[in-house]
Amino acid sequence: MKFSLLFGLLALTVCAQGAVAAPASAFPEKPITVVVPFAAGSPTDAVARVLSDSLSKRLGQPLIVQNRPGATGMIGSEYVARAQPDGYTLLFGTNTTQVANKYFFKNVSYDGLKDFAPVAIVGGVPHALVVNPSVPVSSVAELIAYAKANPGKLSFPYANSTTRITGSTFRVMTHTDISEIPYKAYGQAVSELLGGQTQMMFIDFSTGLAYMTSGKLKPLAITPARSDKLPGVPAMKEALPGFEIGNWNGLFAPKGTPPEIIDKLNREITGALEQPEVRKQIDGTGYELLPPMAPQAFGKYIAEESAHYGKLTQAAGIKPE
């Protein structure tokens, strides 16, 4: 009797373990939702759609892109953080949603490090330090000299975490008196720069590349590194040693998602990003692909980025609002 009971318990245990493992091995068995926490048509949205289309073919199930914009990406991010950890709801997150928000806002309802399982890094959009052509400078060194000779005359607009942290860090590192002008809409910030109401900005390639190549804005340097899209323009870290700020995006699952599912998604994403057509489409959005990382390495990278942002915001005197 005892033997039969023990055998029965062991059988139940094995069956239970199989029931947990089976979904991971068969994944996916239904459509996957990819939440983009920004508006449809945004650069982040464009990259998410290119990748989701390729993954749909590789996984044999539709990946449905769902836009949940608002509150600098926090609405969509919280939605995924509270979703079932089964691999069927993913977040196409960025350095803003996973790292920067907690340094800029007091009431962030999720933890970008603790509430998510990193799946795979995808890419990042370079930012260029540009000036309105009316500013009589042609290099970073000349801009710094001009700012010091004309304290309070220059200003930069910002409408998101990246444009603010880059501009503020530049001001702090160069010991210059440059005003910071906040805008609610990124498009308005760029429009004011083009019109000369502000004079300089770290603008992303997705938005600003056409303005730079047409001469409407003058590029002085690029962060985090040089780009083939603007040959001959130096990296910020060359012109201003120690200036290292980039941005990135990638896929995240809710914390507790089975590792087997995370690993499978990572492999398939890496495979998709190796396809020439996918790479070409993403390049067309202004983004540049980053070297692939295993989920654990991606998690370590995010933690390092978080610590880096903490130091930058502290040095710039930025406090959560």
CATH code of the domain containing 66: 3.40.190.150
> What pLDDT score was predicted for residue 76?
98
> What pLDDT score was predicted for residue 184?
87
Answer whether residue 47 is part of any domain: yes
Domain end (from 239, 270, 305):
239
Are residues 136 and 201 part of one domain?
yes
**Strands 288-289 vs 127-131: parallel, antiparallel or unpaired:** unpaired
Are residues 234 and 251 part of one domain?
no
> What pLDDT score was predicted for residue 5?
41
Answer whether residue 161 is part of any domain: yes
Domain end (from 199, 216, 239):
239
Q: Structural domain of residue 267, as residue ranges?
A: 32-125+247-316
> What pLDDT score was predicted for residue 307?
96
Q: Does the CA dihedral 66-67-71-72 come out positive or negative?
A: positive
Of 85, 108, 87, the residue nearest 98 (C-alpha): 108
> What pLDDT score was predicted for residue 24?
63
Looking at residue 186, which CATH number applies to its domain? Answer: 3.40.190.10
Residuewise pLDDT in 10s, the chain (321 residues): 443 444 444 444 444 444 444 456 799 999 999 999 999 988 899 999 999 999 999 999 999 999 999 999 999 999 999 999 999 999 999 999 999 999 999 999 999 999 999 999 999 999 999 999 999 999 999 999 999 999 999 999 999 899 999 999 999 999 999 999 999 889 999 999 999 999 999 999 999 999 999 999 999 999 999 999 999 999 999 999 999 999 999 999 999 999 999 999 999 999 999 999 999 999 999 999 999 999 999 999 999 999 999 999 999 999 998
Virtual CA dihedral for 203, 208, 209, 214, nearest 10 degrees?
-130
Count of domains in the chain? Answer: 2
Domain end (from 210, 239, 268):
239
Check if the beta carbon of residue 101 is closer than 8 Å to that of residue 291. Answer: no
Are residues 117 and 263 part of one domain?
yes
Answer whether residue 3 is part of any domain: no
Are residues 142 and 59 part of one domain?
no
Answer whether residue 210 is part of any domain: yes
Are residues 291 and 217 part of one domain?
no
Of 217, 236, 260, the residue nearest 86 (C-alpha): 260
Answer whether residue 218 is part of any domain: yes
Answer whether residue 6 is part of any domain: no
Are residues 302 and 256 part of one domain?
yes
> What pLDDT score was predicted for residue 38?
93
Residue with tokens 């700012």: 147
